[in-house]
């Protein structure tokens, strides 16, 4: 299976999300990663279900919503209504994460489970028969542009062993660029989220640098597989 590249719109122009999404998809994005932050679970605020719903008609690939909020459950139906394809919640966001995964699937979305760098990957073991994806954070969530945490590579390798032959994707998020991409794919990652390394140069009006950055990531990632 080839690696998927999921640009994070956290690094795009917040006043122009619709055109940014169209531009980055035309430049080769596989998924669109949407970072929802509540100023409580993480020390930053972004946006909620109405923004995701407004964005949805502009997304032709796959809308991958990463919730950095607590609690989660009261918002699951709103994100289903917004058209999320994958809804990822943090294992640290509450005591009833299994219920959150069940409710996410019952609402018709794929269920993702995210882990902070301070959480052992062994904690996902009881949830592996319900999740579609596990997101191993490679920075502490909350902000783009942070430095990749190399110790998370061992967690990705261990997660790959725990997953075995189940059809569960491994996603990584934070500090992914052409230097770190081959490290995470060698460890077992399938979906690479990248914000600043894709949106650093270019714009919706001049999007070719987005394409160059996606190609550079994809090429680098393939050397790790």
83 is in an annotated binding site: no
Active-site residue 35, yes or no? Answer: yes
Q: How far apart are CA 176 and CA 193, in angstroms?
A: 7
State which residue, 27 or 116, has the beta carbon closest to Zn ion. 116
- One of 30, 35, 38, 190 is an active-site residue; which one? 35
35 binds Zn ion (CB under 5 A): yes
Residue of minimal Cβ distance to Zn ion: 66
Does 205 qualify as catalytic in the annotation?
no
The interface region with ligand DX5, picked from 4-12, 91-99, 154-162, 184-192 by CB under 6 A, is 4-12
Q: Which of 102, 146, 203, 215 binds ligand DX5 (CB under 6 A)?
A: 146
**Interface with ligand DX5 (CB under 6 A), residue from 3, 10, 156, 163:** 10
Count of residues in contact with Zn ion, rule CB under 5 A: 3
Q: Is 39 annotated as a binding residue?
A: no
> Rounded to the nearest 5°, which phi and psi values hold at 175?
70, 25
3-state secondary structure 87-104: EEEEHHHCCCHHHHHHHH
Q: Does the protein bind ligand DX5 through residue 39 (CB under 6 A)?
A: no
Phi and psi (nearest 5°) for 92?
A: -85, 0
Length of the chain: 225
Contact 5, 30 (CB under 8 A): yes
195 is in an annotated binding site: yes
Determine whether the annotation assigns residue 120 to a binding site. no
**Which of 30, 38, 64, 173 does the annotation list as catalytic?**
173
Among 142, 182, 209, 211, binds ligand DX5 (CB under 6 A): 142
Least CB distance to ligand DX5 at residue 164 (A): 27
Residues 151-210 close enough to bind ligand DX5 by CB under 6 A:
173-176, 193-197
Which of 7, 49, 66, 87 forms a contact with Zn ion (CB under 5 A)? 66
Q: Which residue has the tokens 């035309």?
A: 26
The residue ranges that bind ligand DX5 (CB under 6 A) are 8, 10-11, 33, 35, 66, 139, 141-146, 173-176, 193-197
Q: What are the residue numbers of the active site?
A: 35, 173
Annotated binding site for substrate: 8, 66, 142-145, 173-175, 195-196
């Amino acid at each position: 299976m080839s690696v998927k590249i999921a640009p994070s719109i956290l690094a795009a122009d917040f006043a122009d999300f619709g055109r940014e999404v169209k531009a980055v998809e035309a430049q080769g994005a596989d998924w669109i990663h949407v970072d929802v932050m509540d100023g409580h679970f993480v020390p930053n605020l972004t946006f909620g279900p109405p923004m995701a719903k407004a964005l949805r008609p502009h997304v032709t690939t796959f809308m991958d919503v990463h919730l950095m909020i607590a609690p989660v459950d009261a918002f699951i139906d709103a994100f289903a209504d917004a058209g999320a394809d994958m809804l990822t919640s943090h294992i640290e966001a509450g005591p009833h994460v299994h219920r959150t995964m069940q409710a996410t699937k019952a609402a018709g979305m794929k269920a993702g489970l995210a882990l902070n760098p301070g959480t052992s990957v062994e904690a996902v073991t009881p949830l592996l028969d319900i999740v579609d994806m596990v997101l191993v954070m490679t920075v502490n969530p909350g902000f783009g542009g942070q430095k990749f945490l190399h110790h998370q590579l061992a967690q990705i390798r261990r997660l790959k062993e725990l997953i075995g032959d189940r059809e569960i994707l491994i996603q990584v998020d934070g500090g992914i660029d052409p230097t770190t991409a081959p490290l995470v794919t060698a460890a077992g990652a399938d979906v690479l989220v990248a914000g600043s390394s894709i949106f650093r140069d270019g714009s919706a009006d001049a999007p070719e640098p987005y394409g160059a950055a996606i190609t550079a990531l994809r090429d680098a990632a393939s050397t790790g597989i």
